[in-house]
Amino acid sequence: MILDAQHPLSSGLTADSRLIQAYQGVRPDVTPVWFMRQAGRSLPEYRELRVGTRMLDVCLDPELASEISLQPVRRHNVDAGIFFSDIVVPLKLVGVDVAIVAGKGPVLGKAVRTSADVDELTALDPAILDEALAPIRDAVSRAVSQLGSTPLIGFAGAPFTLAAYLVEGGPSKDHIHARTLMHAEPKAWARLMAWTADVTGRFLRAQVLAGASAAQLFDSWAGALSLADYAASVAPASAAAIAHVRDLTYSVNNVQGNVPIVHFGVGTGELLKEMHNIGADVVGVDYRVPLDEANRRLGGAVPVQGNVDPALLAAPWPVLEAHVRDVLERGRSAPSHVLNLGHGVPPDTDPDVLTRLVSLVHDVSAAE
């Protein structure tokens, strides 16, 4: 489907931005940079807005969600905004009993542990999201109207990461119940993954149709899986989730493009190739695998995103600077590179360090 003429990719507002160029495999004049979790607790203006509110209520308030998405763009001069929301928002909207507990993460009213639990969950009809996602579409279009030529990235959780929360009932270290269900009840697992792909795919598509210029799928907990389990029991559902945005194209000055899709996971060094193969354009790399090695594993033809170690944000500046220069240097081996962290911004990060890091990346890469 071709995006409508007002979409910032179709209108030409964001199609030539550094971020979209790099995501399309073209190396722009300057390496683009944004940070996972750039919107959130590292910013005093975010903490101020959040006083007395619940996370999921804020996600469903279009004015607040758009304002919080814009805060880090105003402050840091990053090359992209990321939509402020959470991976569990579409679960909440389809009718799942889920809350986000401060300092902990998503917690479910009831864990989905058996085939009967899966039947009960999947009886919730994903089609109701078409209407229920209205506040998300509203928030995205408000943010996009303020961002001008800076692209907004839409995102969603990958089916495995969402299923990990659903099956565990909350955050978990090794996701053992999810991995047990995968093998003990393979048919129920397949139903769970297909349903989750539909729910999360609709959330992602709604953001792109409302004006997001790129889409990122977060499979944060896929690093708990073996390559064999990932390929057999997870990758098909991630491909199905991505298929919700894979058909979206734009045409500007007679040049056709597709909405770029980024796929990121933590501890997924063994899975990089598979994570690309499900239909992603760009692979996000965590801090464990250097970018030149990630590029080698990906076959040398895939744009990469990453991978400054978030731990170094709190190290003395010369230590961080040397690390960032090394990341940029290794990133030069790939066709193109978007600088990011290897995971999210830690909540206690000094925001001035992030601002300084953005100008370092722009200065160093412009001089190359």
36 is an interface residue for ligand CP3 by CB under 6 A: yes
38 is an interface residue for ligand CP3 by CB under 6 A: yes
Among residues 310, 300, 244, the alpha carbon closest in space to that of 272 is found at 300
CA distance 89 to 133: 9
106 is an interface residue for ligand CP3 by CB under 6 A: yes
Question: Is 41 annotated as catalytic?
Answer: yes
Please state the closest distance from residue 341 (CB atom) to ligand CP3, in A.
10
200 is an interface residue for ligand CP3 by CB under 6 A: no
Helices (H), 9-88: 18-23, 44-50, 55-59, 62-76
91 is an interface residue for ligand CP3 by CB under 6 A: no
Site string for ligand CP3, 152-191 (x = CB under 6 A): ---x-----x------------------------------
233 is an interface residue for ligand CP3 by CB under 6 A: no
Please state the closest distance from residue 83 (CB atom) to ligand CP3, in A.
7
User: Rg (Cα) of the chain, in Å, rounded?
Assistant: 19
The Cβ of residue 137 has, within 10 Å, a number of other Cβ atoms equal to: 15
Q: Treating both helix axes as pointing N-terminal to C-terminal, what angle do 159-168 and 176-184 enclose, rounded to 10 degrees?
A: 100
Stretch that binds ligand CP3, among 97-105, 229-237, 275-283, 312-320 (CB under 6 A): 97-105
Among residues 30, 85, 70, the alpha carbon closest in space to that of 339 is found at 30
At 151, which amino acid appears?
Answer: P
84 is an interface residue for ligand CP3 by CB under 6 A: yes
| Identified binder of ligand CP3 from the candidate list 11, 25, 30, 37, rule CB under 6 A | 37
Contact 358, 78 (CB under 8 A): yes
Question: Is 165 annotated as catalytic?
Answer: yes
Structure tokens at 215: 């889409």
Q: Treating both helix axes as pointing N-terminal to C-terminal, what angle do 134-147 and 186-209 enclose, rounded to 10 degrees?
A: 40
Q: What does the buried/exposed string (b/e) look like for 214-228 if buried means 16 or more CB atoms within 10 Å of the residue's CB?
A: bbbbbbbbbbbbeee
Site string for ligand CP3, 111-150 (x = CB under 6 A): ----------------------------------------
Question: Is 27 annotated as catalytic?
Answer: no
103 is an interface residue for ligand CP3 by CB under 6 A: yes
Q: CB-wise, 13 or 58, nearer to ligand CP3? A: 58
Question: Is 18 annotated as catalytic?
Answer: no
Q: Which residues pair with 287 in a beta bridge?
A: none
Among residues 2, 22, 17, 40, the alpha carbon closest in space to that of 347 is found at 40
Q: Within a 13 Å sphere around the CA of 98, how many CA atoms are in the beta-carbon half?
A: 29
Question: Is 37 annotated as catalytic?
Answer: yes
Q: Treating both helix axes as pointing N-terminal to C-terminal, what angle do 62-76 and 134-147 enclose, rounded to 10 degrees?
A: 30
| Identified binder of ligand CP3 from the candidate list 33, 87, 182, 298, rule CB under 6 A | 87
Contact 238, 265 (CB under 8 A): no
Please state the closest distance from residue 37 (CB atom) to ligand CP3, in A.
4
51 is an interface residue for ligand CP3 by CB under 6 A: no
Please state the closest distance from residue 100 (CB atom) to ligand CP3, in A.
5
307 is an interface residue for ligand CP3 by CB under 6 A: no
| Identified binder of ligand CP3 from the candidate list 22, 33, 39, 261, rule CB under 6 A | 39
- Positions in the binding site for ligand CP3 (CB under 6 A): 36-41, 50, 55, 82, 84, 86-87, 100, 102-106, 155, 161, 218, 220, 344
Q: Show which residues are catalytic.
A: 37, 41, 50, 86, 165
